[in-house]
Amino acid sequence: MAPSLEDDWVPPRAAVSTGELPSGADIETALAEAYEHCGPITDGNVADYIPALAAVDPSSFGIAVASSRGGLWTAGDAYSEFSIQSISKPFVFALVCEAIGHDAARRKLGVNATGLAFNSVMAIELNDQRTMNPMVNAGAIAATSLIPGVDADEQWSNIVAGLSSFAGRPLTMDEEVYRSEAATNLRNQGIAHLLDGYGFLYADPDESTDVYTKQCSLRVSSVDLAVMGATLADGGVNPRTGQQVVTAVTAKRTLAVLATAGLYETSGDWLFDIGLPGKSGVSGGIVTVSPGKGGLGVWSPPLDSAGNSVRGQLVTRYLSDALGLNLFASVPLN
Ligand code: GLU
């Protein structure tokens, strides 16, 4: 861990980067272009290690952009629902930061990339910071175990309430996906027990794995993802409902972890191409956040070998460039 300043240290002067999305008409045009340009791409394979995910229509394709000012633009199947899967991880991590503070969350969960697959057991064995970060399954199950609640039921209720506030509407669970994953998630149970053995799990391992599996089965649409992303882009305030869901500090820390580890072991490639914090999930969704400006939600089920939506990455890349979102882009001053 890098040497850290005191938890409550505030610099004498603090600034926040600002900026606006292009006009609504320009966003609409860029979305239509992105949809048309990426529509014909059929590369990748639908996830099948969770049996219920294999049944999805691979041609499903939705895109949504939500601005920090409350605007919303969509294309294709933007309101179709799918299970959130790993995209739940940053939002649960944000809730944990709210509950225990971001420094404690960093100590207990870690914030560095593993360079290994999302469900790697080797990453736990190789690193003294066993959980590594809250975007891989080890850190994510540990994050779930840190959610406040007297028992697993209350932790689950708090997760549903928190993620629903991010989305600005009540989210519900996909029972079929939950049952399908719960019947086949021996590996995640193993990870939870291994972490428990190392003292890096903070509640009962079987119950924590079960709550984690439920959280992955929450149903969202591309529009929900865009609004959830826009909430992280807007200092933790949901721009559609006006609710302060988490603090601005929590939003900032969550985005930092996404930049490091949001796209599994190809997070570096993602940042190189797209230049924004994002998180993908095995059902084919990707949420991307443009700090201060807004959120993008994309859904297209076929995945690359790392588990990221093929078309989702290309659409996001297109929109990052077309809308001027890349955090690292600048023009010379002459
Ligand atoms: N529920 C899935 C798992 O834990 C989520 C994986 C993902 O979306 O990366 O295996």
Encoded tokens for 305: 């070998």
Work out the widest C-alpha separation in the chain, in whole angstroms: 61
Closest C-alpha residue for ligand 1 atom 7: 86
Question: Measured between alpha carbons, how far is 226 from 153 in angstroms, rounded to an integer?
Answer: 28
Closest C-alpha to 63, from 240, 253, 323, 249: 323
Closest C-alpha to 139, from 118, 163, 156, 125: 118
Question: Measured between alpha carbons, how far is 316 from 285 in angstroms, rounded to an integer?
Answer: 11
Encoded tokens for 155: 């932790």
On the 0-12 / 13-18 / 19+ scale of CB atoms within 10 A, 128 is: exposed
Q: Is 239 helix (H, G, I), strand (E, B) or coil?
A: coil
**Closest atom, ligand 1, to C-alpha of 283:** 8
Q: How far is CA 162 from the centre of its chain?
A: 14
Q: What pLDDT shows up at residue 78? A: 98
Q: What pLDDT shows up at residue 233? A: 97
Q: What pLDDT shows up at residue 121? A: 84
Q: Each residue's pLDDT tens digit in the chain (334 positions)?
A: 454 555 556 666 766 666 889 999 999 999 999 999 999 999 999 998 888 889 999 999 999 999 999 999 999 999 999 999 999 999 999 999 999 999 999 999 988 887 777 788 888 878 888 888 999 999 999 999 999 999 999 999 999 999 999 999 999 999 999 999 999 999 999 999 999 999 999 999 999 999 999 999 999 999 999 999 999 999 999 999 999 999 999 999 999 999 999 998 899 999 999 999 999 999 999 999 999 999 999 999 999 998 899 999 999 999 999 999 999 988 888 7
**Closest atom, ligand 1, to C-alpha of 140:** 4
Q: What pLDDT shows up at residue 10? A: 64
| Any ligand 1 atom below 6 A from CB of 208 | no
CB contact at 8 A, 111 and 262: no
CATH number for the segment(s) 24-322: 3.40.710.10
Closest C-alpha to 292, from 252, 254, 322, 241: 252
> In testing the pocket of ligand 1, which one of 50, 85, 213 has its CB within 8 Å of the most ligand atoms?
85
Q: What contacts 24+ positions apart, CB below 8 Å, involve 250-253?
A: 250/94, 250/97, 250/98, 250/102, 251/94, 252/291, 253/97, 253/102, 253/105, 253/106
Domain limits, the chain = 24-322
| Any ligand 1 atom below 6 A from CB of 276 | no
Task: List, in order, residues 6 or more apart from 139 with CB less than 8 Å away.
Answer: 89, 109, 110, 131, 132, 133
Q: What is the spatial order of strands in the sheet that 294-299 belongs to?
A: 72-76, 62-67, 294-299, 285-290, 278-280
Task: List, in order, residues 6 or more apart from 201 with CB less than 8 Å away.
Answer: 141, 142, 145, 192, 195, 208
CB contact at 8 A, 298 and 312: yes
